[in-house]
A and B are shown apart, each in its own frame.
Chain A
Amino acid sequence: MGVEQVYHLRDGKAYRALCEYLAREGYDFPQCLSGIDMEFGLRSVLHLRRLRDHAEVTVWLDVSYDKPRVPSVTDLWGGLEWHEREAFDLLGIHYDGHPDHRRILLEDHWTIHPLQKRYDTGGYLIPDWQPTVWPDWEALDREAEEAERKREEAERAKAEAARAPAESSQTPAEIAGDLTQVRALNANYAAKLKEQGITTLQALAALTDDQLEPLATAVGLKSPAAITKWRDGARELDAAAKTETAASAAGDDLTQIKALNANYAAKLREQGIAHVKTLADLSDEAAEELATKVGLKSSAAVKKWREGARALLTEGAAPEVFTAPSPAPATPDEGQGGKENQGDKDIAEIKTLNAKFAGLLKERGITTVAALAALPDGQLDEIANAVGLKSSAAVKKWREGAQALLNGEAS
């Protein structure tokens, strides 16, 4: 692209001389000639180009309304002939020396030149826009920024609000307890179901088809249809609750964080860092402290985990691999449950019983601690013989061990 140069002239002779000079300089290509009504006079504007190096030049010549005379340059550039005629036709600039100085677009009998600003359009072409009053662009920019900031804030608040319910509203356990959440199950029947031992949603959802009919009669219903409906509702709710738990547990799985292995994840958990967000929000001091607590020499690793946690949060990538919500540890409300629990244990748990004899006992049908503890005295010799022992003293000792295990753990 060539360099554009503007010559601004007020004298016709200088204009002609300049044009001749430019023609000699090799400005061979006439691009455009136009006129402008500048309201202090008229201006003829000439655009030339030099094809050799594509340099462009612009020449302005100002003339008055009284004497709008411009020397014609059509002998230098033939292509300007019609352009000069057009400028004369529409603006009334006279080109002296033009070979065919007539109107070109309008009829010859016109007397006025329409592109002059004083041209009376007879009521047409009145601008239908108001005179320009430019607004305060900076103020508009500030307003736009403010609006943007508010919008972002609102979005952040919304996102937080969306995250909050998982913590503040009912826990899955509470949901599980309240049977009235099931569609079409009113408080009356919920109470009746509870009397029948159906206290949680899970219990309701876990009902088999065989159990439905007896339950229906027990709560005073003629057909099990309603209970079937409740069970389906409970199953839906249960599934929803599980998904929700899984979602809220997503933050719990610290091993998603890059460079944090399961071992340290467990250690962090011990220190109360159970959520990714908690880790991401860790201050530098807290990071130092945590590093010493989990047995690290420097806080570099902790900081790396923190970065990982932040990356995880900003990604918003709720990871696909949710760890299944850790099953709530069975909290037995009766001793019996505990005994059974311990009683179900393998007899190999008994300290005084070695693997060889444990195997032999299992062959005799004594597989659990409870079974061993419950052996009557009369059977001791028989068992001792069966496993190839001379006296029943060892068997007695095992039985004591089993009993100790049961009682000890249960208390």
Chain B
Amino acid sequence: MTVPATKITAPTALEPVQGRTDEMIVSLGPQHPATHGVLQIVLGVDGERVTKAVPHIGFLHRNHEKIEESRTYAQVLPYLDRMDYVSGLQNELGFCLVVEELSGIEVPERAKYIRTAMFELNRIISHLVWIGTYMLDLGAITPFLYAFRDREKALDIIERTCGARLLPNYFTFGGVRRDVHPQFWRDIVAFVDYFETVLPEYEALTIDAPIFQARTKGVGVLTTQVAVNHGITGPCLRASGVPFDLRKDQPYDAYPQLHLEVITRSEGDAWARSKVRFDEFRQSISLIRQCARQAPRTGPFVGRGRVKIDEGMQRYRAVEASRGQLGIYLWSDGGSGPYRLKHRSPSFTNLQVVPDLFIGQKFSDVISILGSIDIVLGEVDR
């Protein structure tokens, strides 16, 4: 922003401010409802314009990676749920894939479908939490109640299958820990059938609503070049016109057998990111239906094998979680547990682009942009 050479006069009530005022430092967080956790962003504001943004993270840091180095492979699994606690099951899959690949454990076909269906169900849950909290940030309370009503229905299925709602610790090396209950496929299809009928309600309340569009359209535009260069993944990247989806480009579990169109938008603004997530609802519904149709009803739910990873073996594997690429880098020294385990969490990587997006935007749009990125601090700080 250029600084006008003229002397600044005190603004009157009728005249809008022209030019530059004294910079003010505003601390957003760490205790702020719109940060979804404990995130501090120190903002420099010039009137209503943001001129500076410095995020501070680490308030939730537990150093998972250090703890996991002192645990066996099986003991690592429950810790993974605690990273992105909104979609706990998704965190487990990447680690399972790495260990299965390095130990040569075969995953039975049925387990693959169960894992894929649960994975997609978790995506619906995660996006529902996102709608609810994002709309709450923008000042609408009703969608939050709707979203949490339907999220409970999905969590009931997770609870009935895994025994826990948020931190299920369900996936394991070679499949899943327990068999699904006999009504599992019926339940999950009934849920998506129901959810498909209420989806238009959500759309009417959110992305189709004029107020929402006024708050999000043209706000926080993330260009394709910046998005790719900053390693942005998930709906944020696809809303900037990059058709990168690991479910399609590097498929795992049952995804190779499922039909999937990568959803992209070209606008790159907060509204496009929201729209991509809404389209992903429909995509997840379709994927769950395909799973229910194709999944074998009998057979083992976990493959046999021993977790034994030789010294010097290493692998980076990633899965397409709700927020983007959730990667695991494992280095083994041949012991019972990982020698080094790095979590590449999508929220951590996506959050670093936020200062770039804030600069030059209106102060009230900060919340709108932050919400549209959809971060979970448990995953950022690990």
Using CB atoms and an 8 Å cutoff, list the residues of chain A in contact with chain B. Answer: 1-2, 28-32, 34, 36-37, 45, 47, 51, 54, 56, 58, 77-83, 86, 90, 104-107, 114-115, 119, 121, 125-129, 131-132, 134, 137
Using CB atoms and an 8 Å cutoff, list the residues of chain B in contact with chain A. Answer: 57-58, 61, 63, 65-67, 69-72, 226, 228-232, 242, 244, 249-250, 306, 308, 316, 318, 325, 327, 329, 331, 334-337, 339-340, 342, 344, 348-349, 351-353, 381-382
**Chain A residue, CB-CB nearest to B344:** A32
Q: Which of B57, B228, B306, B344 contacts A29 (CB 8 A)?
A: B228
Contact between A129 and B337 (Cβ–Cβ < 8 Å)?
yes
Contact between A58 and B316 (Cβ–Cβ < 8 Å)?
yes
* Chain A residues, Cβ within 8 Å of B349: 79, 82-83
**Chain A residue, CB-CB nearest to B225:** A28
Q: Which of B57, B61, B229, B339 contacts A79 (CB 8 A)?
A: B229
Contact between B344 and A115 (Cβ–Cβ < 8 Å)?
no
Q: Which of B57, B71, B228, B342 contacts A28 (CB 8 A)?
A: B228
A156 to B319, CA, bound (A): 49
Most buried by B among A77, A105, A134: A105
19 more CB-based (< 8 A) A-B contacts, given A1-B250, A28-B229, A58-B316 = A28-B228, A29-B228, A31-B318, A31-B327, A32-B327, A32-B342, A34-B329, A47-B327, A51-B244, A54-B250, A78-B226, A79-B231, A79-B353, A105-B57, A105-B381, A107-B58, A115-B340, A127-B71, A129-B72
Given contacts A29-B244, A90-B65, A125-B67, are A106 and B58 in contact (CB under 8 A)? Answer: yes
A372 to B63, CA, bound (A): 113
* Chain A residues, Cβ within 8 Å of B242: 51
B373 → A minimal CB distance (Å) = 14
The 8 closest A-B pairs by CB, nearest first: A79-B231, A34-B342, A105-B58, A79-B230, A32-B344, A30-B231, A105-B61, A82-B352
A321 → B minimal CB distance (Å) = 30
Given contacts A30-B231, A77-B229, A127-B337, are A54 and B65 in contact (CB under 8 A)? Answer: no
Contact between B316 and A47 (Cβ–Cβ < 8 Å)?
yes
A79 → B minimal CB distance (Å) = 3
Contact between B61 and A31 (Cβ–Cβ < 8 Å)?
no
Contact between A45 and B329 (Cβ–Cβ < 8 Å)?
yes
Identify 23 residue pairs between A and B in the complex whose beta-carbon atoms are under 8 Å apart, listed by A's number. Answer: A28-B229, A30-B229, A30-B230, A31-B231, A31-B316, A31-B318, A31-B325, A36-B340, A54-B250, A77-B229, A79-B229, A79-B231, A79-B352, A86-B348, A90-B65, A106-B58, A106-B61, A115-B63, A115-B340, A126-B70, A127-B71, A127-B337, A132-B336
* Chain A residues, Cβ within 8 Å of B337: 127, 129
* Chain A residues, Cβ within 8 Å of B351: 82
A132 to B351, CA, bound (A): 39
Most buried by B among A58, A79, A86, A106: A79
A251 to B65, CA, bound (A): 67
A368 to B347, CA, bound (A): 106
A36 to B316, CA, bound (A): 14
* Chain A residues, Cβ within 8 Å of B348: 82, 86
Contact between B336 and A129 (Cβ–Cβ < 8 Å)?
yes
A132 to B336, CA, bound (A): 6
A259 to B306, CA, bound (A): 49
* Chain A residues, Cβ within 8 Å of B249: 1, 54
* Chain B residues, Cβ within 8 Å of A32: 316, 327, 329, 342, 344
**Chain A residue, CB-CB nearest to B381:** A105
* Chain A residues, Cβ within 8 Å of B67: 125
A186 to B57, CA, bound (A): 91
Contact between B229 and A104 (Cβ–Cβ < 8 Å)?
no
Contact between A104 and B230 (Cβ–Cβ < 8 Å)?
no
A125 to B306, CA, bound (A): 25
Contact between A51 and B66 (Cβ–Cβ < 8 Å)?
no
Contact between B230 and A78 (Cβ–Cβ < 8 Å)?
yes
* Chain B residues, Cβ within 8 Å of A36: 331, 339-340
B99 → A minimal CB distance (Å) = 15
* Chain A residues, Cβ within 8 Å of B340: 34, 36-37, 115
**Chain B residue, CB-CB nearest to A117:** B69
* Chain B residues, Cβ within 8 Å of A104: 57-58
Most buried by B among A1, A32, A58: A32
**Chain A residue, CB-CB nearest to B58:** A105
A56 to B250, CA, bound (A): 11
**Chain A residue, CB-CB nearest to B315:** A4
A30 to B325, CA, bound (A): 11
A37 to B249, CA, bound (A): 32
* Chain A residues, Cβ within 8 Å of B331: 36
A212 to B282, CA, bound (A): 80
A106 to B249, CA, bound (A): 35
**Chain A residue, CB-CB nearest to B351:** A82
B173 → A minimal CB distance (Å) = 16
**Chain A residue, CB-CB nearest to B75:** A129
* Chain A residues, Cβ within 8 Å of B325: 31
Q: Which of B232, B244, B335, B353 contacts A132 (CB 8 A)?
A: B335
* Chain B residues, Cβ within 8 Å of A105: 57-58, 61, 63, 381-382
* Chain B residues, Cβ within 8 Å of A34: 329, 340, 342, 344
A160 → B minimal CB distance (Å) = 31
B169 → A minimal CB distance (Å) = 18
* Chain B residues, Cβ within 8 Å of A31: 231, 316, 318, 325, 327, 344
Contact between A51 and B342 (Cβ–Cβ < 8 Å)?
no
A127 to B339, CA, bound (A): 12
Q: Which of A28, A126, A132, A137 contacts B306 (CB 8 A)?
A: A137
